[in-house]
């Protein structure tokens, strides 16, 4: 079933107003000046990674494709723009027929990126391409930030499962996007049912402290949960006294108890004590799940603890301190006229300070050593060197307005694991440092 059939807010009928007003006023001025139909190339890139990050993760590409496909100005939207006098009538008439009919190329979702990487390239007329700036950046900046945090947490977890549980810590629609991005970055499940429904991400969940507090005794609460959900359920054991709760949990469920969850206290110490107690009670296969404001550093500190899975919320959906990737959408080439065969001319911002850009329609490739490990991110706008011809990173996503780059989330997850594995070992470090690959411009 398509979620859109139910009218759920996780599918938005039109993304046309997910934009800034100046996109439309630029369109109006360009239409009036006769420059709107000039062929143009916009690129998405970031000038720097968030402080301390060794690599970035491309996430949200699939959502960008959905947004582009649904970017259309329906009658109610046009009437709103008319009433608010955002643009004039000729511009409204132009918008009424808007469909993106250009081409989009980019790094495939799940790939890693570095400063200057041309993560996305949008080609079309100035008019049709400029309108997509805000929605493209909104998706990529958010999802890539969450995926990068998720990837670092997955590295810290060392193969132990990670559960995304941040829905209550962010906007309800951002929660769905965060679940998807976390899944791309290496999380194995989510507590958010909308994300499971929309994207097929495995969902998990059992009970909170409120369920224990509802009952007269902890024994009654555990009994009710086990009777309803079975012995394989996860019992929350830190509402009162952890040691007593673990004893009761095994008494009620037996050694077949699926797991216990710890949500507070010194997790390292408590996990060791709980493991010893479970083993002493014969519950050798009962797993230990820990939650409680975890981030990648807290997860890494528990590497030696007998923890079987982690649940992460706030730090994940806020990018673990970096909720955006500072990606920008810049015009890098445009034709000198609206003639279809007019050649593209490189353009670039040359202002003082750090906000400069590099002109020209770019390609990107990853240089590798003899051992197959990446040594540099190579970006250029001229001819691609022969030795890099088979190592290009950019793939077609939209061709003449038709989506050609959709793929399953499982394929995206596998790509990310492979891309991360191809980086130098220092990429796995959580300590502060420079990007693990330098960016070379040719």
Plot region of 236 (φ>0 → left; ψ -120 to 50 → alpha; else → beta): beta
According to CATH, where is 3.20.20.70 located in the chain?
A: 147-321
Average pLDDT over residues 158-172: 96
Torsion of CA 5, 6, 7, 8, to 10 degrees: -120
* Res 10: pLDDT: 45
* Res 356: pLDDT: 76
User: What's the CATH fold of domain 147-321?
Assistant: TIM Barrel (3.20.20)
- Residues in Cβ contact with 156 at an 8 Å cutoff, skipping those fewer than 6 apart: 296, 297, 299, 300, 303, 430
pLDDT-based confidence at residue 433 (cuts at 50, 70, 90): confident
Average pLDDT over residues 337-341: 92
| Neighbour tally for 85: CB within 10 Å | 7
Q: What is the DSSP string of 92-109?
A: HHHHHT----SEEEEPPT
Quick one: what percent of the chain has pLDDT higher than 70? 96
According to CATH, where is 3.20.140.10 located in the chain?
A: 3-131+326-441
How far is residue 24's CA from residue 249's CA, in Å, rounded to a whole number? 61
Average pLDDT over residues 294-311: 97
* Res 2: pLDDT: 54
- Residues in Cβ contact with 210 at an 8 Å cutoff, skipping those fewer than 6 apart: none
**Per-residue pLDDT tens for 41-90?**
999 999 999 988 999 999 999 999 999 999 999 999 999 999 999 999 99
In order of 11, 365, 388, 422, 427, the CA distances from 391 in angstroms are 36, 5, 5, 13, 20
- Provide the CA 42 distance to its chain's centre, in angstroms: 21
Q: Which helix (H) or strand (E) holds 288?
A: strand 287-290
Q: Is the pLDDT of residue 9 over 70?
A: no
* Nearest of 330, 236, 249, 322 to residue 47 by alpha carbon: 330
8 A C-beta contact, residue 303 and residue 156: yes
pLDDT-based confidence at residue 5 (cuts at 50, 70, 90): low
**Global pTM value:** 0.94
* Res 357: pLDDT: 82
How far is residue 338's CA from residue 334's CA, in Å, rounded to a whole number? 10
Average pLDDT over residues 228-243: 98
- The CATH architecture of the domain made up of 3-131+326-441 is Alpha-Beta Barrel (3.20)
Q: What is the mean pLDDT of the chain?
A: 95
Helix axes 242-253, 267-280, angle to 10 degrees: 40
How far is residue 202's CA from residue 177's CA, in Å, rounded to a whole number? 15
Q: How many helices (H) and strands (E) does the chain have?
A: 15, 18
How far is residue 143's CA from residue 251's CA, in Å, rounded to a whole number? 44
Average pLDDT over residues 234-260: 98
- Residues in Cβ contact with 410 at an 8 Å cutoff, skipping those fewer than 6 apart: none
């Amino acid at each position: 079933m398509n979620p859109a059939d139910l009218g759920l807010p996780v599918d938005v009928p039109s993304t046309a107003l997910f934009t800034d007003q100046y996109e439309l006023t630029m369109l109006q001025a360009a239409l009036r000046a006769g420059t709107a139909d000039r062929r143009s190339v916009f690129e998405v890139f970031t000038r720097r990674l968030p402080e301390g990050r060794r690599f970035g993760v491309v996430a949200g590409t699939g959502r960008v494709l959905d947004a582009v496909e649904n970017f259309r100005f329906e009658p109610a939207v046009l009437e709103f723009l008319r009433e608010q006098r955002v643009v004039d009538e000729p511009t409204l008439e132009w918008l009424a027929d808007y469909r993106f009919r250009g081409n989009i190329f980019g790094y495939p979702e799940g790939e890693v990126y570095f400063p200057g990487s041309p993560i996305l390239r949008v080609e079309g007329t100035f008019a049709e391409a400029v309108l997509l700036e805000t929605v493209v950046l909104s998706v990529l900046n958010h999802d890539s930030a969450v995926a990068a945090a998720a990837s670092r947490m997955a590295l810290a977890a060392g193969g132990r499962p990670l559960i995304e549980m941040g829905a209550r810590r962010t906007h309800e629609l951002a929660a769905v996007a965060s679940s998807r991005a976390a899944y791309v970055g290496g999380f194995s499940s989510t507590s958010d049912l909308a994300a499971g429904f929309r994207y097929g991400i495995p969902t998990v969940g059992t009970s909170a402290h409120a369920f224990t507090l509802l009952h007269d005794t902890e024994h009654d609460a555990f009994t009710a949960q086990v009777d309803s959900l079975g012995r394989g359920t996860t019992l929350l054991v830190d509402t009162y006294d952890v040691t007593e709760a673990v004893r009761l949990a095994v008494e009620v469920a037996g050694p077949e108890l699926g797991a216990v969850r710890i949500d507070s206290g010194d997790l390292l110490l408590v996990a060791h004590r709980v493991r010893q107690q479970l083993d002493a009670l014969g519950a050798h296969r009962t797993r230990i799940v820990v939650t409680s404001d975890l981030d990648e550093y807290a997860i890494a500190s528990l590497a030696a603890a007998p923890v079987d899975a982690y649940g992460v919320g706030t730090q994940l959906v806020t990018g673990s301190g970096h909720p955006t990737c500072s990606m920008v959408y810049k015009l890098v080439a445009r034709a000198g006229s609206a003639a279809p065969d007019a050649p593209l001319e490189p353009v670039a911002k040359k202002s003082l300070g750090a906000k400069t850009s590099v002109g020209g329609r770019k390609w990107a490739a990853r240089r590798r050593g003899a051992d197959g490990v990446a040594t540099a991110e190579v970006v250029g706008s001229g001819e691609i060197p022969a030795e890099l011809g088979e190592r290009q990173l950019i793939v077609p996503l939209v061709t003449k307005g038709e989506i050609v780059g959709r793929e399953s989330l499982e394929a995206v997850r596998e790509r990310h694991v492979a891309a991360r594995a191809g980086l130098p070992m220092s990429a796995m470090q959580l300590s502060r440092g420079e990007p693990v690959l330098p960016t070379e411009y040719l």
